[in-house]
Amino acid sequence: MRGLKLIDRYKSAQVHAFNPTDTSGGKTPRGGTVRAKLEAQIIKSFVSNSKPNKAHNSVSVSEALLPYGLPATELLEPCLEPYLKPVDLIGSLAELYRRIEGCPSPSKKSLLLVEQYSLMRGLADPKLLRRCLRAARQQAEDVHSKVVLSAWLRFERREDELVGVSPMDCGGHVLECPKAALVKGYDPNSIFKDCHCCCGPSEVINESILEKNECFEEENDVSFYIGEEEIKCVRCRMATLSTPFKAMLYGSFKESRKENIDFSQNGISVEGMRAVEVYSRTKRLDFFSPKILVELLSFSNRFCCDEMKAACDAQLASLVVTIDDALILIEYGLEETANILVASCLQVLLRRLPNSLCRPKVMKFLCCSKTRGRLSMLGSASFLLYCFLSQVAMEESMVSKMTVKLLKRLGESAKENWQKALAAHQLGCVLLERQEFNTAQRSFEAAVEAGHVYSMAGVARAKNKLGQQYSAYKLMCYVISEYKPAGWMYQERSLYNIGKEKELDLSTATKMDPTLLFPYKYRAVAKMEEKQIRAAILEIDKIIGFKLSPDCLELRAWFFIALEDYGNAIRDIRVILTLEPNYMMFGEKVRGDYMIEVLSRLVQKWSQADCWMCLYEKWSSVDDVGSLAIIHQMLESDPANSVLQFRQSLLLLRLNCQKSAMRSLRLARNHSSSEHERLVYEGWILYDTGNREESLSRAEKSLSIQRSFEAFFLKAYVLADTSLNPESSSSVIQLLEEALRCPSDGLRKGQALNNLGSIYVDCGNLDQAAGCYKNALDIKHTRAHQGLARVYHLRNQRKAAYDEMTKLVEKAQNNASAYEKRSEYCDDREMAKQDLDTATELDPLRTYPYRYRAAGEISILPLSDICSFSYAVFMFLKSFMPTNGTEMHILSVSMDDQKENEAVEELTKALNFRPDLQMLHLRAAFYDSIGNTTSALRDCQAALCLDPNHTDTLDLYNRAHNSVIQN
């Protein structure tokens, strides 16, 4: 079914490479000088009839659409990654896993899990990041850490964008419940618990009740006077408030022999003292006003009334609702060391991020150095707080003063080396963006001193900006020679190189890490400068094919404009705006939506019916980028269409654009026209954030209101993903059949038929599966070729399976998965290898081709012969076994020691730029089989850092670990 590879939600890089002679500020992109200039040039090109030469007029239009020229190679520069980037990520993950496993303290383990989160930021997998935060919240003991981590988890889901959802609402999980976060203590099972908290307004008692002193069980035997006012009290009750009161009332002090005690000089009002007396008897505070509670809190501190202080702290914490409340009460909380109150106030501020940072008072409070000092009472949670705030601020603006201040507070909170490295490196990145090169260099040097080698790239960047290009070059040469070479090192050195050496560095960078954007962008722009526009487009297509990036799409849009292909230019800009709705083009000088408005005058206009027909065509040709552009165009005329927004989210998920997909889902939910529709979209949001049970509940609730295709489909999808035993398979089949009986369009019905076919295959019902796939193909669901090919293969019709996948290869546009799947049905090993090489070229992030190439010599053997091979071979075989229960033959592997070393090298190529669970486990198995137990243990530990519950890796790890102990 729908695959969910998630990507990092961090900011995209813009292309800052324009003609340096242009000095227009571009500060008013809508309606300002930039727009006026562009408008004037275009109008002039349209109305110019004096020269009827068509080519001349076309050139004029093209030039008008590129008012700042095309990017120049000498001005291109990649963004520095603003997170921890160790030289040896696998080794760092393994070492971190050892520390987490050996850590006896939950609070320290919680901080280690946040370190794990920081290390994994570069893996572009929000599921991994969310799991780190959930585990950190699970291990947190103190309320401040719980509050920060709960708010962080909520922020990752962006619930503030859901209409009708309050920031302080409990989503039903203990880990994210605002009330549960304020409960002290460590609960290891909290990750599995649902929350059933309820909110009730606090009752404020009428002060006249306090004056009557009614309903006393004991006789008043002592009076406290404040001025002329008398407060009658019970001596023994007052003595229980604290040791000082007990000493005063029953000790050797003169007050112990008095019935009337003057309390005028003790800084408490008459109303406050009456409240003390009531509390001494009732032990209740829930009916006092906040003003009285604050007074009682201060009184408790002066007279060491610990129990009353704790009660005041908790009661005041329950009254914090608004940001204004929080800003006022947090001052009292800090002054009186009321931990729960401070935590509650912070929670209100944090659960309203990023909006709360827009309020000057909040910004002033959080960014102030004095506040950071006062918040030192939070301990390690102080670092967590500023780590979270800094991340939010950097996402909002990399160059704001607020971001700089928060990062400075983060540095002040840092205690361990990794914390200091993170704070200094991120501050360096921000200062570099702000063009404060001297201070940026010092920050990067501080990060290097704390052990972060990647920050040397920042030092080199700053040196280069200060005119020290050769010094920057030497520094990167030193990094390459002293540390394990990586793609980013050669990319960085290329910035200070020229000619063939620069090209060689970029080529090496791509070979070592094909996911780096900059080398493709540079080569594309270089070809453009040589007037090879189509070659430039082909170059940038290489990266866009597997990594959708706004800046690469913008670059391709410019090339299309220069080529006068305005239709494809509009397509790319529409996809950019789908990913980032407020994207600014031409070095952040012109809004993307304005460029669409201008370009639309040069192409044929489409009706909604035309768009639907085109969408079917794009969907059929597996052109997901083109489909996104069509949906964006349709949403222009119908922006509240929740169905289109939902389709948009499905495409974005398929393209691994998790952040944008979730935004589209939230919009679909907000614009839903009915309750049952809203529940379905909420269900998908819950599913995509790992809350399967709640997702299933939403689907069932939607169906109880109205039967619909999407509700049945959601329920079937969640059930299929949770567990697929014979009983649940039957339920999933029934649900999908019910879905197909409900009204929907061909796009969704094709997907349902494809999924139904997949379930039938898993159940061994090949005839029914083939029927589903053929029906899907009849409505142009092209991906069904893949399922039908699998059916043919299981029927031992390998030629038919190969031919079926060839049809998909021919219809799909650069679909790496089609080549990958076709390779499984090749009888000729060389043909299979060619398909896999093509798949890797189109999408180097796919792991199957590396695992296949690591296998060595392949022959067809029965399943029963597996036992004669090594564990590494067995694990390779297991990774390719079909999931159905039919009798089968599988590919097995025959290797000698040299082949196993070659297998390790093949896996290492991919692991150098993308740590993957399956490949780490397989490489560990190969290491184990050749006796390299140390490397096997390291790879197991790194894999378990990615997934601590991976059964096969745990088994291998335990066996290797026992082997080390025995030897």
Residues in a beta bridge with 890: 861
**CA dist., res. 60 & res. 51, Å (int):** 11
Rounded Cα distance, 635 and 178, in Å: 36
Least confident of 58-72, 170-184, 419-433, 934-948: 58-72
**Rounded distance, CA 947 to CA 940, Å?**
10
Does pLDDT of 23 surpass 70?
A: no
Do both 854 and 962 map to the same domain? yes
Output the pLDDT for position 193. Answer: 72
Secondary structure (DSSP) of 762-805: HTT-HHHHHHHHHHHHHTT-TTHHHHHHHHHHHTT-HHHHHHHH
Q: pLDDT value at position 228?
A: 87
The number of angstroms, rounded, from the C-alpha of 440 to the middle of its chain's C-alpha atoms is: 27
Nearest to 410 by CA among 436, 435, 443: 443
How far apart CA 68 and CA 497 sit, in angstroms, is: 26
945 belongs to a structural domain: yes
Q: Which amino acid is at 357?
A: L
Cβ distance 819 to 838 under 8 Å?
A: yes
Q: Are strands 260-262 and 222-226 parallel, antiparallel or unpaired?
A: parallel
Residue 808 and residue 803: Cα distance in Å, rounded? 9
- Cα-only R_g, the chain: 32
Helix (H) or strand (E) holding 271: helix 270-282
Q: Is residue 453 part of a domain?
A: yes
Contact (Cβ atoms closer than 8 angstroms) between residue 346 and residue 338? no
- Asked if residue 949 and residue 910 are part of one domain, the reply reads yes
Gap between the Cα atoms of 573 and 554, Å rounded: 7
Distance, in Å, from the CA atom of 601 to the CA atom of 43, rounded to the nearest integer, reads: 11
For the segment 327-374, what is each residue's pLDDT rounded down to a tens digit? 999 999 999 989 999 999 999 999 999 999 999 999 999 998 888 888
Is 501 in the same domain as 537?
no
CATH of the domain at 851: 1.25.40
Per-residue confidence (pLDDT) for residue 38, from 0 to 100: 57
pLDDT confidence bin for 419, thresholds 50/70/90: very high
Question: Taking the mean position of all CA atoms in its chain, how far away is CA 178?
Answer: 22
- Answer yes or no: do 879 and 962 share one domain: yes
Same domain flag for 557 and 475: no
DSSP 598-623: HHGGGS----HHHHHHHHHHHHHTT-
Question: Is the preceding omega at residue 354 within 30 degrees of 0, hence cis?
Answer: yes
Pairwise CA distance, residues 700 & 694, whole Å: 10
User: Comparing C-alpha atoms, which of 742, 727, 690, 708 is closest to residue 699?
Assistant: 708
DSSP label at residue 857: E
Paired residues of 222 in beta bridges: 233
**Residue 874 falls within a domain, yes or no?**
yes
Final residue belonging to a domain, choices 467, 495, 515: 515
Residue 15 or residue 810, greater confidence: 810
pLDDT at 764 over 80: yes
Report pLDDT for 812: 86
- Are 400 and 393 a contacting pair, CB within 8 Å? yes
Overall number of domains in the chain: 3
> Does residue 592 form part of some domain?
yes
Asked if residue 571 and residue 485 are part of one domain, the reply reads no
C-alpha 375 chain-centroid distance = 28
> First-to-last CA distance in the chain?
46
Is 371 contained in some domain? no
Residue 493's H or E segment, with its range, is helix 487-494
Instruction: Give me the pLDDT at residue 724, please.
Output: 66
Pick 951 or 375 by higher pLDDT: 951
The answer to whether the beta carbons of residues 454 and 425 sit under 8 Å apart is yes
What is the rounded CA–CA span in Å between residue 791 and residue 428? 55
Give tens-digit pLDDT for 186-198: 777 776 677 766 5
- Domain co-membership, 960 together with 857: yes
pLDDT of residue 176: 82
Q: Is the domain of 895 the same as that of 871?
A: yes
Look at residue 59 and tell me whether its pLDDT is greater than 90. Answer: no
| Position with higher pLDDT, 27 vs 580 | 580
Res 871 pLDDT > 60: no
CA angle 188, 193, 199 (to 5 degrees): 115
905-923 pLDDT, tens digit per residue, is: 889 999 999 999 999 999 9
Minimum mean pLDDT range among 92-101, 389-398, 558-567, 866-875: 866-875
**Within a domain: 296:** no
DSSP for residue 25: -
Q: Among 250-264, 597-611, 813-827, 869-883, where is mean pLDDT lowest?
A: 869-883
Which residue has 């493709």 as its token pair? 520
Q: Are residues 120 and 129 in contact, defined by beta-carbon separation less than 8 angstroms?
A: yes
Q: Are 692 and 721 in contact (CB under 8 A)?
A: yes
Summarised one tens digit per residue, pLDDT across range 791-814 is 999 999 999 999 999 999 999 877
Query: Looking at residue 585, which CATH number applies to its domain?
Result: 1.25.40.10
What is the average pLDDT value for the chain, to the nearest integer? Answer: 85
Structural domain that includes position 581: 517-605
Query: Tens digits of per-residue pLDDT, 695-723?
Result: 999 999 999 999 999 999 999 999 988 76
CB 308, CB 279: distance < 8 Å: yes
Per-residue pLDDT at 71 exceeds 80: yes
Q: Which of 943, 918, 939 is nearest to 930 (CA)?
A: 939
Q: Scanning the structure block, which residue is given the tokens 């070393």?
A: 901
Question: CB 825: neighbour CB atoms within 10 A?
Answer: 23
Domain check: are 508 and 525 in the same one?
Answer: no
534 lies in a domain? yes
| For helices 487-494 and 499-512, angle between their N-to-C axes, nearest 10 degrees | 160
Task: Residue 5: name the closest of 800, 772, 798, 847 by CA.
Answer: 847
Lowest mean pLDDT among 122-126, 195-199, 435-439, 590-594: 195-199
In a 3-state reduction of DSSP, which class is residue 860?
Answer: strand
Backbone φ and ψ for 856, nearest 5 degrees, come out as 80, -140
Separation of alpha carbons 939 and 933, rounded Å: 10
Query: Which residues, 6+ apart, have CB-to-CB distance to 220 below 8 Å?
Result: 213, 232, 233, 234
Q: Do 491 and 441 reside in the same domain of the chain? A: yes
Instruction: Mark which of 476, 492, 515 sits at the end of a domain.
Output: 515
Model pLDDT for residues 145-195, shown as the tens digit of each residue: 999 999 999 998 887 788 888 888 887 778 888 888 888 887 777 766 777
Q: Point out which residues pair with 229 in neighbouring strands.
A: 226
Say if residue 590 is in the same domain as residue 571: yes
Q: Is the pLDDT of residue 881 over 80?
A: no
631-655: b (≥16 Cβ within 10 Å) or e: bbbbbeeeeebbbbbbbbbbbbbbb
Average pLDDT of the residues in 834-859: 82
Residue bearing the bigger pLDDT, 469 or 55: 469
Residues with Cβ within 8 Å of 582's Cβ and at least 6 positions away in sequence, in order, are 591
> What single-letter DSSP state applies at residue 627?
H
Q: What is the pLDDT of residues 594-637, one digit of tens each?
A: 999 989 988 988 999 999 999 999 988 899 999 999 999 999 99
Residue 463 in domain: yes
- Please say whether the beta carbons of 90 and 935 come within 8 A: no
Residue 150, pLDDT score: 93
CA distance 478 to 470: 12
For the CA atoms of 824, 827, 830, 833, the dihedral, rounded to the nearest 10 degrees, stands at 0
Token pair 């669901």 in the structure block, residue: 781
Q: Are residues 443 and 533 in the same domain?
A: no
DSSP 153-170: HHHHHTGGGSTT--TT--
**853 pLDDT higher than 50:** yes
| Contact between residue 66 and residue 595 where contact means Cβ atoms under 8 Å apart | no
Residue 325: exposure state from Cβ atoms within 10 A (0-12, 13-18, ≥19): middle
717-739 pLDDT per residue, tens: 999 887 667 778 899 999 999 99
The last residue of one of the domains, among 605, 620, 635, is: 605
Number of H helices, E strands in the chain: 50, 7
Residue count (the chain): 967
How confident is the model at residue 58, as a pLDDT? Answer: 45
Out of 57-66, 707-716, 766-775, 902-911, pick the least confident.
57-66
